[in-house]
Structure 1
């Protein structure tokens, strides 16, 4: 783990923080990150966060749901301005999704101090836990719990691929799972939350802009499709005698692409589990997970309904039973117009700053019903995210830090 700053020394700058964090949870084979919630890699990330708070003399605390906070000023005073993101990753994810927002938040605090700006409101940096949902299958667990968007008992029962419950994983990592749950008192302290994030697309790059402001998040959800057939021998069972769920699954994947294309939406089967999983065996069960997103909830519902209809029609043809379970859903989120417009005005003094929607979910979206929330995006020239190819240039990262510092100064220091 990186060493803490020596007493009295200056806190590490952006590039030093970035290099220290870059080594944590990186897979040597893929080059991507495997920072899953409540694992040793996550523990190392959390230790890094605490060290950054200590290096800056910020008051550190972990809330009941495992989210980390670093405070400048008295949190009990209320009306706080909070910034940050998350440090966990998807399987073999990129370096920027989440960590850019946390590193930039600490760097923006440093920039405010260098300017001599004195906050008149409490200011905090936050690391929300388990944002990606890579281990337990539900995104934004830390912020969902805090906002009361998932019940404590339901959260404790979440299981990973090895059958380990969230409660057990938290306990092993030293956090009390009995403490988790809605935290309205904490949210009542927050007057505004601004999350900086690498853009997960190329809109800024195509427009030649280093930084943009988010307008809204598309509605999105995750659905589990279970296709149950009959296990049998791959070498002796006639094609016409088979009840092969893999055929139905394959047809459903193709139907998802077509339904999304026709509606101008997005639909992805990105995870599949097969039982019994033998090369020379016809499967008895194929379980696939659908991620779908659209510009509005009516379109999203129509796309998912079309995919489910195609799955059931295929199941009837193939002699396969189909079950569909919605595992999560996040409605459309429009960021607080007053806050969004203020950010655009603060950053658009020389030239208008782009204001654009996103199809990706974020902790900011989860909190938007309870707290005035906004987002900044930093240009990603590859347009790739959730992959080691995700990228943001050093100059654009610096522009993001400056923009975030401008926003924090405008919100907290004036």
Structure 2
């Protein structure tokens, strides 16, 4: 089929962004406010300017390119995604959505098209929560859902707070509130993302138009005990933080299995201190990621998880459970769903409606502005791994859907 977007340029742009990576050859690792993150931000700024956009970095490091409309007083259409990554992940998660926006800007420029309504193209920070926990930080800050004091209390594994990392990156954390968008300042928000699952590929379909995103809760769990010598401390005298944590961890998968209703629970991060082979652990920290389509199921599973963890304490161990993030299941805009689906049909694409099992910035933006989300296929359903892949022709089909939708929403007169 003929694309509006250019698959070759999409590949060049994604490969160009992926060079800013702390683990070359071992997947993509780009943590928020790291040196690689700064290099990536500069790269994106340059590409946005090349595409004819006026570019700025907001108070927390989001890169925003603007294509002015003939009526600049109108609230802009916003499109984009995030450019941080998980450790040793893939080069499409988040990045594909950022590059999709830039490709659309190139298409508007090459065709000499001026929108009536402005269009903003955004590359967002810290969606994954890999460095500071919680995730979805950019969208939560932009929509006023983060207490600025949390920038001091949220820390990474080295104890560096968001505020300290911002300062080292060249930003003023005391000005972070300036990144908050005012009500009605965004007309709609659109995001493209890889599916991160096998459904589209297994059914031979081109795109999915998402109508809802599952609820998401994240807990940070800390077990504290007493370090001691592995050879001289009797078993009945130990306060082994790891033993307590493992007692809880062994029970958590069964909670999700028992509650059913498409609930999932993942312990994806576990840190044991002091980390010596011959030292009894005195501190264990792990995360629990809980998701389900219904809010009451997420809440119940979080409560059950807390109860299991607290029962595993005692015997000289202390336990702390901190809720880092809770987002209720989010319905997306039905009007945008219709518009996106219409353009997928007009392009003769095979499409389906889908609920997203992964969290995205779209789920935060949906409470702030009408929001639409498009998925493109993931090879073998693999994501958050070096093997993550989407064919560029497939990616271009999703970008085409966004391009035509943006032309509609921003009142662009498209002649072909």
Cα offset for 1:182? 6.2
Of residues 43, 49, 60, the one that matches 2:38 is 43
Q: Does 1:139 align with 2:135?
A: yes
Partner of 2:3: none
Cα 1:277/1:42, change in 2 over 3 Å: same
State the match for 1:325 in structure 2: 322
Post-superposition CA distance 1:144-193 (Å, at most 9, x none): 11111101222244222222222222222222222112655555331111
CA distance in 2, matches of 1:411, 1:356: 22
Q: Deviation of residue 67 (structure 1)?
A: 1.5
Match of 2:55 in 1: 60
For 1:295 and 1:146, locate their aligned partners in 2 and report how far apart those are by CA, in whole Å.
25
Aligned partners of 1:111 and 1:402 also within 8 Å: no
The 5-angstrom pairing of residues 201-220 of structure 1 reads: 201-220=197-216
Structure 2 distance, partners of 1:53, 1:367, is 22
Q: Which residue in the other structure is 1:245 paired with?
A: 241
Structure 1 unaligned spans of 5+: 1-9
Among 388, 392, 400, which residue is 1:390 paired with? 388
The CA deviation at 1:401 is 1.8
Map 1:11-410 onto structure 2 (within 5 A).
13-28=9-24, 30=26, 32-74=27-69, 76-114=72-110, 117-181=113-177, 183=179, 185-186=181-182, 188-264=184-260, 265-316=263-314, 319-349=316-346, 350=348, 353-410=351-408
Deviations 1:93-144 (A, max 9, x none): 2100111001111112333455565422111211112222222223122221
TM-score normalised by L of structure 1: 0.90
Report the Cα offset of residue 315 of structure 1.
2.8
Change (3 A) 1:409 1:41: same
Give me the whole-angstrom Cα distance separating, in 2, the residues matched to 1:126 and 1:291: 27
What RMSD over aligned residues (CA atoms) do the two structures have, in Å?
2.2
Using the TM superposition, name which of 86-95 and 345-354 deviates more: 345-354
Distance 2:252 2:178 in 1: 35
How far does residue 342 in structure 1 lie from its aligned partner after superposition? 2.1
What is the CA–CA distance in structure 1 between the aligned matches of 2:411 and 2:392, rounded to whole Å? 27
Bigger mean CA deviation after superposition, 320-329 or 217-226: 320-329
> Residues of 1 paired with 2:83 and 2:31: CA distance?
9
CA contact (8 A) 2:54 2:65 kept: yes
How far the C-alpha of 1:89 sits from its partner, in A, is 0.8
Equivalent-residue separation in structure 1 for 2:282 and 2:172 (angstroms): 39
Q: Which runs of 5+ in 2 are unaligned?
A: 1-5
Query: Mean alpha-carbon deviation: is it higher for 380-389 or for 319-328?
Result: 319-328
Q: Secondary structure at the match of 2:46?
A: helix
Deviations, residues 181-239 of structure 1 (Å, cap 9, x unaligned): 26555553311110001112112112211211111111112111122233232223333
1:241 Cα offset (Å): 3.5
- Output the TM-score relative to the length of structure 2: 0.90
Q: Distance in 1 between matches of 2:404 and 2:25?
A: 39
Q: 1:19 Cα deviation (Å)?
A: 2.3
How many pairs does the alignment contain?
A: 402
Residue 379 of structure 2 aligns to a residue whose secondary structure is coil
**In terms of mean alpha carbon deviation, does 303-312 or 384-393 score higher?**
303-312
**Structure 2 CA distance, aligned partners of 1:183 and 1:26?**
27
Distance 1:314 1:355 in 2: 42
CA contact (8 A) 2:60 2:166 kept: no
**Separation of aligned partners in 1, 2:66 and 2:286:** 42
**2:121 counterpart SS class:** strand
